[in-house]
Amino acid sequence: MPVHEEIVGPIPDGRDPDEYDKLRRRVLWSMPYGLYVVGARAGERRNAMTLNFATQVATAPKMVAISVWKEALTHELVREGRVFALNLIDREDRAIVRKFVKPVEVDESGPTLNGFPFHDGPTGAPVLDGAVAWLDCAVRHELDCGDHTLFAGEVLDCGFQKPEDSPVLRMEDTRMNYGG
């Protein structure tokens, strides 16, 4: 199918660019996504941010990938520190993700990130104490994906902090949307 390159991406021939872009966004937003808080660390600098582009990508070794917007502080920290912790959030705690859409305030004495208690995972990446579960990962691969970078991390440690059957947060549990 021939396409035309425009600011919004390739447009199939015969399609109105604005209408096609709206359709493409609606289809992409209908895909099921989790909603997570990813912790990152480089040296003594820490951050945590809301993220929905995450998935398991391999079984041997166990690997998960996160896609992080290149302009985000977390991108800089993951690239420099080569570690991240993916925090699975309880569906009942959905308001927490709004607290991590901008760089966080770190209180080392607490220790807290934007007022939420955390501890460092084995790699040093921050794990929220209130997360249902977490995956502590070391970056093994990265892929340029336009305005995002896909970081594939090997799971070095993980754990549950709440019952395993606790429902975890999904994008559709909030009024948030991202991507598309």
List 118's β-bridge partners, or say none: 128
Mean pLDDT of 49-58: 96
| Same domain for 45 and 119 | yes
Mean pLDDT of 70-96: 97
| Same domain for 37 and 22 | no
**Residue 70 belongs to some domain of the structure:** yes
What is the total count of domains within the chain?
2
In terms of residue numbers, what domain contains 16?
1-31
| Same domain for 53 and 21 | no
pLDDT score of 45 more than 50 = yes
| Same domain for 9 and 77 | no
**Residue 55 belongs to some domain of the structure:** yes
Span 95-151, pLDDT tens digits? 998 999 999 999 999 999 999 999 999 999 999 999 999 999 999 999 999 999 999
| Cα gap 86→66, rounded to integer Å | 9
| Cα gap 78→69, rounded to integer Å | 11
Which pLDDT band holds residue 9 (cuts at 50, 70, 90)?
low
Mean pLDDT of 62-86: 98
Residue 112 and residue 162 in contact, taking contact as beta carbons nearer than 8 Å: no
pLDDT score of 178 more than 80 = no
Which pLDDT band holds residue 5 (cuts at 50, 70, 90)?
very low
Number of alpha carbons in the 13 Å side-chain half-sphere of residue 27 = 6
| Same domain for 107 and 19 | no
Compare 77 and 31 and report the one with higher pLDDT.
77
Long-range contacts of 99-102 (CB under 8 A, 24+ apart): 100/37, 100/48, 100/49, 100/50, 101/49, 101/50
The pLDDT assigned to 6 comes to: 41
The pLDDT assigned to 1 comes to: 37
What CATH number does residue 64 fall under? Answer: 2.30.110.10
| Same domain for 20 and 91 | no
How many CB atoms neighbour CB 99 within 10 A?
15
